[in-house]
A = this chain, B = another copy of it.
Amino acid sequence: MTKVDPWADIQGKVDYDKLIKDFGTEKIDQKLMQRLEQHAKHKGLGLHHFLRRGIFFSHRDMKWILDEYEKGNKFYLYTGRGPSGDVHLGHLVPWMFTKWLQDVFDVELWFQMTDDEKFLFKADLSLEEANRLAYENALDVLAVGFDPKKTKIFVDTDYAATLYPLAIQIAKRLNFTTTKAVFGFSGETNVGAIFYTSMQSVPCILPSVLAKRNIPCLIPYAIDQDAHFRITRDILPKLGYYKPAAIHCRFLPPLTGPGKMSTTGSSKDSTIFVTDDAKTIRKKVMRWAFSGGKDTVEEHRKHGGNTDVDMAFQWLTYFEPDDEKLAYIKRQYESGELLSGELKQILVDTIVPIIDEHQKRREAARKVLPQVLLKDRRHS
């Protein structure tokens, strides 16, 4: 299996159970799901299908987060985005879930745009461009539907008078050998990249620093980011803060097969961006979605398709929230009644409205963005 870290181009099947073991996280079990469902019910919502289907599959300290919440000690949500290009459907997965958490628990979201990270880790990306993309991508974040009254978005290099003094508090507790072990850094790694994880740790303490009291922090993220927060969890108690809790999702696999979608790596052409139009989406799905169907219509009708490997079906598990509808599609496809092209069309019909809606809300977000931005004012 490919190494799963924040900067790897992940190809091939990911063994998520093994990641739970390797990273020392806990599987989300039935009991935890029931507890989350109870909270959702209070707001007239159901358990999110990402939980029902194991797309969010792992966590750290979720039980503690709920214990505290039930005692009246609210947590806040923190997640982020490394702005290196347009947002794709895979990015929406943790954000959609984060919105559900915000709806269910009525909590603040602190959203970090790591233009510094992308600049430092991508040889050809200028800081100017990374910064521009940060503000573009921020519109996509808001388009997911977060409550503007409870959401704060900040771009690292424009909020550094606030972030840097806290980052060095963390950096002082972290040595090169540890970053080498956790991230695989070498002597060739640039010193900004080596320092960077300290910046990603800051939102785990920033609201507590500003409020002058410890507030529990819950971070929803795709599991590849875990390395950062393993470090953070190690350091924060030494500084007198809570360890951040976490809830982890799988990657949305590329249309072409298992792995992690990427805008620069192996799955670039087949990636569906939230800026794509219906025609482009249809073309990409039809052309690239790996089919679990049989070679001929006759064979398919006889033996049926394999939903385990069919990427159109796999994507529907992410984007079709209705369990019954999904089960029906599964039966139809496995029985051979539904052909591969028809299944792909169902996927297109499912994601096009999601992206349509996203694009509309994205335009509306231009007005909202200034209200939710945290930005230091430069003297000069």
Residues in chain A within 8 A of chain B (CB atoms): 116, 119-120, 127, 131, 154, 157-165, 167-169, 171-177, 179-180, 185-195, 197-198, 210, 374-380
Contact = CB atoms under 8 A, between A and B. Distances in A.
Q: In the complex this chain forms, how many copies of it are found?
A: 2
Contacts of A377: 161, 376-377, 379
Interface of A is mostly: helix
Nearest to A128: B165
Given A192-B198, A379-B162, A168 B119 contact: yes
Contact of A168 (B174, B186, B192, B375): B192
A173 B160 contact: no
Contacts of A154: 379
Contacts of A127: 165, 168-169
A195 B191 contact: yes
15 contacts: A120-B168, A127-B165, A154-B379, A160-B160, A167-B192, A171-B192, A172-B192, A174-B190, A176-B194, A177-B188, A179-B191, A191-B197, A192-B198, A376-B378, A376-B379
A161 B378 contact: yes
Nearest to A168: B192
Nearest to A126: B169
Contacts of A160: 160-161, 163-165
A116 B161 CA distance: 12
A233 to B, nearest CB: 17
Contact of A159 (B161, B189, B192): B161
